[in-house]
């Protein structure tokens, strides 16, 4: 009987220890998840503050060049012209709508809202890559984000109907050896491409106006991604 009691005591002790271990592991897991939640909330706050509060980023002259490229690459009908390694027709229309609404919010420049509306109207009529479920979903996600940041106090203003040469920073192709030398601790550089601070011609845009059906041509000037076809007519 004493042996049975001893065995029972040992079993109960083992079960108690196992239960304590399980409790401690669960507690540790909850602490880790809480820490991860707090970290994600902090990151969300950083993104939120960036989107809503740091207006000087959007007012910077170099930032305005980016927003102007997004705006003036639009056709008079509001088409997102695909080029390079793109998702095809209207493949990034949603992202462009989001960018333009965000730029309009912080710069108070109504041209950006006008461009966002023209993109949206065309997409509603013709679709946002509707035959590609993934790109269509991404477009709709970006449009949902645009609805959160758009500012209806900014009145849309039709952009000036002029041709222009758009610019961007130079992209150079690195050899494998150059990439390893520049970033010895990294596994490599995406597509072996690196951005310098040299300004280069980006796209030549010829435009007769902004009314649907007005003449429009966009010509590739400085290629930054495959297919490498400079002087190609991207849209007409």
Q: What is the pLDDT of residues 128-175, one digit of tens each?
A: 876 766 777 888 889 999 999 999 999 999 999 999 999 988 888 888
Q: Are 74 and 121 in contact (CB under 8 A)?
A: no
Mean pLDDT score, 8-25: 66
Of the two residues 46 and 6, the one the predictor is more confident about is: 6
Task: For residues 89 and 138, state if they share a domain.
Answer: yes
Same domain, 79 and 35: no
For residues 28 and 89, membership in a common domain is answered with no
Pair (115, 184) in one structural domain: no
pLDDT above 70: percentage of residues in the chain:
75
Residues 44 and 63 grouped into a single domain: no
Q: Note the pLDDT tens digit of each residue in 32-52.
A: 766 766 665 565 555 555 555
Q: CA nearest 165: which of 65, 34, 39?
A: 65
Q: Is the model more confident about 227 or about 91?
A: 91
Q: In whole numbers, what is the pLDDT of the chain averaged over residues? A: 82
Full domain range(s) for residue 183: 164-235
pLDDT of residue 46: 52
Residues ≥6 apart with Cβ < 8 Å to 2: none
Q: What pLDDT is attached to residue 7?
A: 62
Q: With bands split at pLDDT 50, 70 and 90, how would you rate the model's confidence at 122? A: very high
DSSP summary character for residue 213: T
- pLDDT confidence of residue 43: 55
User: What is residue 74's predicted lDDT score, i.e. its pLDDT?
Assistant: 95
Domain count, the chain: 3
Give Cα separations from 57 to 32, 64, 126 (angstroms): 35, 9, 33
Q: For tokens 């669960």, what's the residue?
A: 26
pLDDT at res. 234: 85
Mean pLDDT, residues 59-76: 90
Q: What is the C-alpha separation between 110 and 161, in angstroms, rounded?
A: 15
DSSP 3-state helix, strand, coil percentages of the chain (rounded to 5)? 55, 15, 30
Residues 182 and 210 in one domain: yes
Instruction: Please write the tens of the pLDDT for every residue from 172-221.
Output: 888 888 888 888 887 778 778 888 889 989 899 999 999 999 999 999 88
Residue 227's pLDDT is what?
63
Residue 157 lies in a domain: no
φ, ψ of residue 41 to 5 degrees: the values are: -65, -40
pLDDT score at 127: 80
Decide which of 149, 174, 199 is a domain's last residue. 149
Q: Look at residue 12 in the predicted model and tell me its pLDDT.
A: 62
- Tell me if the pTM is above 0.85: no
88 occurs within a structural domain: yes
Residues 168 and 123 in one domain: no
In a domain, 159, yes or no: no
């Amino acid at each position: 009987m004493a042996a049975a009691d001893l065995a029972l005591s040992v079993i109960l002790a083992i079960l108690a220890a196992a239960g304590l271990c399980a409790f401690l592991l669960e507690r540790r897991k909850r602490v880790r998840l809480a820490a991860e939640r707090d970290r994600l909330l902090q990151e969300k706050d950083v993104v939120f503050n960036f989107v809503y509060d740091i207006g000087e980023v959007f007012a910077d002259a170099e930032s305005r060049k980016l927003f102007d490229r997004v705006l003036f690459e639009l056709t008079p009908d509001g088409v997102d012209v695909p080029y390079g390694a793109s998702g095809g027709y209207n493949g990034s229309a949603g992202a462009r709508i989001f960018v333009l609404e965000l730029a309009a919010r912080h710069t108070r420049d109504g041209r950006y809202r006008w461009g966002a509306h023209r993109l949206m109207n065309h997409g509603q009529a013709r679709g946002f890559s509707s035959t590609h479920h993934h790109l269509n979903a991404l477009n709709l996600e970006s449009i949902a984000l645009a609805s959160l940041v758009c500012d209806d106090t900014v009145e849309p203003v039709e952009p000036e109907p002029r041709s222009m040469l758009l610019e961007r920073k130079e992209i150079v192709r690195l050899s494998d050896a150059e990439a390893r030398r520049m970033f010895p601790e990294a596994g490599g550089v995406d597509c072996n491409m690196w951005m310098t601070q040299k300004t280069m011609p980006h796209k030549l845009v010829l435009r007769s106006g902004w009314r649907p059906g007005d003449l429009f041509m966009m010509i590739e000037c400085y290629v930054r991604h495959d297919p490498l076809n400079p002087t190609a007519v991207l849209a007409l």
